[in-house]
């Protein structure tokens, strides 16, 4: 068993090393913005793979992509200053967290609780101009890349692009929905909704009792180094 554990550890370390190296390549590749442009085409593929789950969100002046089980959705606005909440956010069912002990009144200001749902997100900032003409889900995302490039990243361990929602919360999607190019295995996580557990745990939620979300350590890049960080994850395969 000890020998097997060592082999697993070595393989895991090798995967992390490759992942960190690939992140560096993507960040430093000369010429075009590889992450920015690559994320757009991959995001388009995700939208095309979930047509029934993508819809206009008039309340937040933007668009939403709903999870196949309807428990959570990613919302991104047109960034024209009309959204009453945040430019990018997750809206999700509060019940699993409340059942696990969460007191919504103890959540920080970037959370909102209403009608059995929780929202968490961030305002992207900037000049927030008013755009003319009707946007599409993809063009609204392209504006995020164009005006708020710092909010778009790459998670090498899962071979995912992501949008930062602030406070360690993310929406992620596969660079390639068929294969994870880091591990050369089938890509089984086409989209992942990611929550920072710390505010939820601080507000009373027992992370081990939250149903429907995976509570696990995820390899993330922090200050240029790989580190394991606990997250609440809700992954889905769209194909």
Whether pLDDT at 8 is above 60: no
DSSP string, 3-19: HHHHHHHHHHHHHHHHH
Give residue-wise pLDDT tens across range 158-205.
999 999 999 999 999 999 999 999 899 999 999 999 999 999 999 999
d(CA 6, CA 3) in angstroms, rounded, equals: 5
Contact of 46 with 177, CB cutoff 8 Å: yes
DSSP character at residue 227: E
Contact of 148 with 140, CB cutoff 8 Å: no
At 173 the pLDDT is: 98
Which of 67-76, 86-95, 150-159, 218-227 is the least confident region?
A: 218-227
Q: What's the Cα-to-Cα distance from 112 to each of 72, 115, 119, 157, 215, rounded to whole Å?
A: 14, 10, 5, 31, 22
**Global confidence as pTM:** 0.83
At 32 the pLDDT is: 60
Name 47's Cβ contacts closer than 8 Å, sequence gap at least 6: 54, 65, 137, 138
Q: What's the Cα-to-Cα distance from 141 to each of 36, 90, 118, 204, rounded to whole Å?
A: 11, 15, 23, 34
* Mean pLDDT, the chain, whole residue set: 83
Contact of 53 with 70, CB cutoff 8 Å: no
How far from chain centre, in Å, is Cα 204? Answer: 23
Name 192's Cβ contacts closer than 8 Å, sequence gap at least 6: 158, 160, 170, 171, 172, 173, 233, 234, 235, 236
Give residue-wise pLDDT tens across range 21-74.
344 334 433 346 888 889 999 999 999 999 999 999 887 778 999 999 999 999
Contact of 197 with 232, CB cutoff 8 Å: yes
At 79 the pLDDT is: 58
At 81 the pLDDT is: 55
d(CA 174, CA 157) in angstroms, rounded, equals: 11
Whether pLDDT at 85 is above 80: no
The better pLDDT of the pair 223, 143 is held by 143
């Amino acid at each position: 068993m000890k020998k097997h554990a060592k082999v697993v550890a070595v393989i895991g370390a090798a995967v992390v090393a490759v992942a960190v190296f690939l992140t560096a390549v993507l960040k430093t590749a000369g010429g075009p913005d590889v992450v920015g442009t690559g994320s757009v085409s991959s995001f388009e593929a995700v939208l095309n793979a979930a047509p029934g789950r993508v819809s206009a969100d008039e309340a937040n002046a933007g668009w939403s992509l709903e999870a196949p089980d309807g428990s959570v959705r990613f919302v991104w606005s047109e960034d024209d200053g009309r959204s009453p909440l945040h430019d990018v956010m997750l809206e999700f069912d509060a019940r699993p967290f409340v059942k696990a002990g969460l007191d919504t009144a103890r959540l920080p200001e970037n959370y909102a609780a209403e009608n059995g749902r929780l929202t968490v997100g961030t305002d992207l900032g900037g000049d927030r101009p008013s755009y003319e003409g009707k946007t599409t889900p993809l063009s609204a995302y392209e504006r995020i890349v164009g005006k708020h490039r710092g909010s778009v990243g790459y998670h090498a361990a899962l071979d995912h692009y992501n949008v930062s929602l602030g406070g360690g919360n993310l929406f992620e999607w596969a660079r390639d929905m068929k294969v994870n190019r880091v591990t050369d295995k089938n890509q089984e996580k086409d989209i992942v909704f990611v929550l920072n557990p710390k505010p939820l745990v601080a507000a009373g939620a027992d992370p081990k009792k939250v149903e429907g979300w995976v509570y696990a350590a995820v390899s993330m890049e922090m200050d240029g180094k790989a580190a394991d960080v606990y997250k609440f994850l809700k992954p889905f395969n769209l194909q």
